[in-house]
Structures are given as structure tokens and as C-alpha cells.
Amino acid sequence: MKKWILLLSLLFARPVLAESWSLDTVLRQVESNHPKLRTIGLIEQLAEAKVTEKEGAFDPSLLLSTEQYRYQSPTDPGKAKLADEQLAAVQIQDVSGWKLISGYRRNQGQVKSPDSLTGQSGEFFVEFKMPLLRGLGVNEKQTALEQARAARLQAQATGRLLRLQTMLGAALAYWDWSAACTEWVLLQRNLELASQRAIQVEQRVQAGDLPRVDRLEAQQELQRRQEALAKGERNVQKAALKLNLYLWNSQGQAQALPQAGLAPLLLPAEDAGQAKEPSRTTVAVASRADGAELSQAELQALQSRPELVEIQFQKEMVELDRRLAENDRLPALDLSVSPGLDTGPKSIGLTYKIGLQLTIPLATRSADGRLQAARLKSDKLDLDQVQEIQRILTEVRDAASMLNTSHGRLAPALESYKLARQLEEAERLKFSLGDSTLFLVNQRERATLAEAQKLIEILADSHRARATLSAAAGRL
């Protein structure tokens, strides 16, 4: 039996010089090394790459062409005509919709209409095109670019949501692990008591001081506590595996399972000594959330929760779609101005082309449908925002309520635990003096363990609630 207990102790013991892990230590490691948090930068870089892609629609371009013609003469059938054309120009287009082309062209021979013959040295020209109604300041390419820029908000919101979820998951796993390790320490203490008592009862039975049935009672209790300790060991392993999902090293590799000896005890300091762990770090109840803190948490949540930023991004996207749909309902009125300078022999000097083109749509059902859809989406997002605000505020208030409830439960639970421990010690003393039974001693110890387990759960709940409140306020 002692050998079995020793093996378990070696499995769960921490190094002598090791310090207990604090929550801040764990969260710093999670923030530095967890793969999900490392992807946040990649998500933001992907959004920037999308912006660069949409900006590419407005990149300047160089136009180079050369063509030769041999075609049927329209005025002298049966005879061929020859012409050649060269063009070199730079084209620039702006997000507001205007386009500028500047370059040189040379058209020689019997040039086909609508191209024009130039002087032998060619023509230098500038061509400026600009929409005056539809497409001015709002167009498909401009809208796609603005939507890509707005997507940066979504990338930031996605990253912050990933961080909040990951950090909260790590904090909850940490407190589950601490609670499981604390309970295992108490179960180990209970098993050691039962083991020592079994030896004492055996000696007293052999001396005739106790009936033989007490030997059976002691052995049964020993087996029961061995089973409870095995279950507690499994709980520690399960909690350690869950916590280990958040523990990675700087090389992106999962770490070894955290040892139970590194977990702080969720017990008052004097009770850690009773559990034969006087050097272990103990953790008190988390601080209470008063009215001022609750109001501050609600305000922070409304200002920083990524879910609300996501809705704001969706609203911006819908607004851009609405503006584009409204613009597409307008007539198209396009201005074109192209001055030039014809040079060389047989040139005419100044050239120009000025024109206006008006297109009036007789029906705008496509734009009307998109405009109606944008308005309906906007109304839906307003309702979603109201619902999301209420959900977030409820999360904040629920976490604060859980935290304060833990405070309210702590004092009576702690007092009940202390009284149970005193009754347990008194019952053991009575049993040693022959004024009690082994059955009562076992019952007292079980009652003490139950009170301790309840106390551990209350303390763990308070820290879970504190972590949840910080996450709900968007500040974890």
C-alpha cells in the first residue's frame, strides 16, 4: 500500500525548487506561443494584401502598339491600300473615375477611318476622360477598394475575438486544473489517514482492544479512498490535457503535460499545511465586482468587444453597396478632351477632340434591386446590433453575478469546512480514547472532504467568473 502511494506521489509531485504557476505566467505563454494567436498577424496581413490587390486596378500602364494594314479600297475597288500605325502612351486612372492617357502616335499611308493621318514626325497628344454623373467618385472599382479597406476592421475584430476566446479558454482550463490538483491533494491526505488508521486498527484488534469487524471497516474505507484517489488522478490528467492544449513553446511545439505539483492550492494557507503542502502557493477568492466596476466593464464591453466591431464593418460594406446602387441609377454623362500637337512635314500643328456622351437608362431594375437589398440589410444589422449589445451586457452582468455569488457563498462554506475539520479531529480523539466508533470517524472525515471539495469549487468559480468578466469586458 505504501509503495502504491509513493508511486502516485512521484507521478504528481513537483520539483522541490519549482514555483507554482500563476495565471499570469500561463497567459503570457499562451499569448506568445499559441498557434491561434500567431495567426492574428497573418489575418491582418491577408487583409492588407487584399487592399493591395484592389489598388492594383488603378495602377498606371504603358500602351505600345504597331499595326500594318493592306485592305480593299472603298473608292477604287480591286486596288489595295496600305497603312501603318504606331502608338506609345502612358495611361493613368484615378479612384474617383477619371482617366488620363498621354503619349505619341504616328499614322502613315492610307489610314482607315476613324483613325487620322498624322504628320511624318507623328502626333503628341493628351487624352482626358471623366464621368460627370454615373461613376463620378463612386464606381465598381472604387467600391471594391473601399470594401477591402473596410475589411481591415473585420481582420482586427477577428484577431481580437480569437485572442479573447483563446485567453478565456486558457484561464478557465487553468482554474479547472488548479481545482483538480487541489482536490487530488486532499484525496491523497485522506488515503494516508485511512492507511495509517488501518495499521492502528489491526494492532488494536490483535491486542483485543477492538472487535474484528473494525478491521473490515478499516479495510473497506481504505479501498473506497483508493478508488476516489484513482478518480481524482484521472480528473487531474484530464484537466492537465485540457490546459496543455494552450501551452506551446516558441518553436510551435506542444509542451509536456503540466505537473500537478505546479498548481496552486485553492485552499486557505493554514489548510495547505493540513494537507501536508505548506510550501505550495495558495489562492484566495477573486476580488468582488462592485457597482462601479460593473458599470466600467459594461462601458468597456460596448467600446471594445470585437462582435460589435464586426457589425460595424458589415454596416460599412452595406453602405458602400447602397452608394454604388444609387450611383448606378444615374444617367451616364462622360466628358472627353484630347488636345494634341501634329509634327513634321505635312503636319497641321494643334489638334483636339472634345466630346460629351449621354446615356439615359430607360429602366434601372438591377440598381433598384441592389438598393432595396442594401436598405433591408441595414435594417437587419440595426436589429442584430441591438441584440448583440444586449447579449454582451448580459454576459458582463452574469459574470459579475457569479463572482459576487461566490463571495456570498465563501464565508459560510469556509466556516462549515472549519467546523467539519474540528469535528473530525474531535471524533478521532474520542476514538483513540475508546469513546467513539470507526464508522463515525470515517463519516466525519468524509464530511470534511465534502466541505473541502465544495470550498474548492467556490474558489474556482470565483476565479472563473473573474476571467469571464474580464473577457466579457474585452480586456483579458
pLDDT of residue 3: 38
What is the rounded distance in angstroms from the CA atom of residue 250 to the CA atom of residue 443? 50
- Decide which of 120 and 2 is more confident: 120
pLDDT of residue 268: 66
**Is the pLDDT assigned to residue 256 strictly greater than 80?**
no
What is the rounded distance in angstroms from the CA atom of residue 236 to the CA atom of residue 405? 26
What is the rounded distance in angstroms from the CA atom of residue 317 to the CA atom of residue 110? 53
pLDDT of residue 8: 35
**Is the pLDDT assigned to residue 316 strictly greater than 60?**
yes
- Decide which of 420 and 11 is more confident: 420
Every domain of the chain and the residues it spans: 2-33+143-317+379-472, 62-93+98-134+332-363
pLDDT of residue 114: 77
Q: Using alpha carbons, select from 394, 401, 403 the residue that is nearest to residue 467.
A: 403
Average pLDDT score over residue span 380-398: 95
pLDDT of residue 16: 36
pLDDT of residue 113: 78
pLDDT of residue 432: 85
User: For residues 189 and 272, is the Cβ–Cβ distance under 8 A?
Assistant: no
Q: What is the pLDDT of residues 15-53, one digit of tens each?
A: 333 467 888 989 999 988 888 888 898 999 999 999 999
| Ramachandran assignment for 363, one of left (phi > 0), alpha (psi -120 to 50 degrees), beta (any other) | beta
Strands 80-93 and 349-359: unpaired
**Is the pLDDT assigned to residue 473 strictly greater than 60?**
yes
CATH architecture, domain defined by 2-33+143-317+379-472: Up-down Bundle (1.20)
pLDDT of residue 2: 40
pLDDT of residue 289: 84
**Is the pLDDT assigned to residue 260 strictly greater than 80?**
yes
What is the rounded distance in angstroms from the CA atom of residue 109 to the CA atom of residue 139? 40
**Is the pLDDT assigned to residue 5 strictly greater than 50?**
no
- Decide which of 15 and 204 is more confident: 204
**Is the pLDDT assigned to residue 178 strictly greater than 80?**
yes
Q: Give 378-436 as a DSSP string.
A: HHHHHHHHHHHHHHHHHHHHHHHHHHHHHHHHHHHHHHHHHHHHHHHHHHHHHHHTTSS
What is the rounded distance in angstroms from the CA atom of residue 436 to the CA atom of residue 438? 7
Average pLDDT score over residue span 214-228: 92
Q: What is the pLDDT of residues 421-453, one digit of tens each?
A: 999 999 989 988 888 888 999 999 999 999 999
**Is the pLDDT assigned to residue 212 strictly greater than 70?**
yes
* Max CA pair span of the chain: 141
The order of strands in the sheet holding 61-72 is 61-72, 80-93, 99-109, 122-131, 332-343, 349-359
Q: What is the pLDDT of residues 273-287, one digit of tens each?
A: 454 554 556 677 778
Contacts with 88 (C-beta within 8 Å, 6 or more apart), sequence order: 62, 63, 64, 103, 104, 105
State the average pLDDT for the chain.
Answer: 87
pLDDT of residue 280: 57
As separate numbers, helices (DSSP H) first and strands (DSSP E) second, the chain gives 10, 6
**Is the pLDDT assigned to residue 271 strictly greater than 80?**
no
Distance, C-alpha 175 to centroid of its chain: 21
CA trace torsion 130, 132, 135, 137 (10° rounding): 90
What is the rounded distance in angstroms from the CA atom of residue 299 to the CA atom of residue 75? 83
What is the rounded distance in angstroms from the CA atom of residue 95 to the CA atom of residue 143? 9
**Is the pLDDT assigned to residue 269 strictly greater than 60?**
no
pLDDT of residue 281: 64
Q: What is the pLDDT of residues 125-165, one digit of tens each?
A: 999 999 999 989 899 999 999 999 999 888 989 999 999 99
Average pLDDT score over residue span 88-113: 91
pLDDT bucket at 250, cuts 50 / 70 / 90: confident
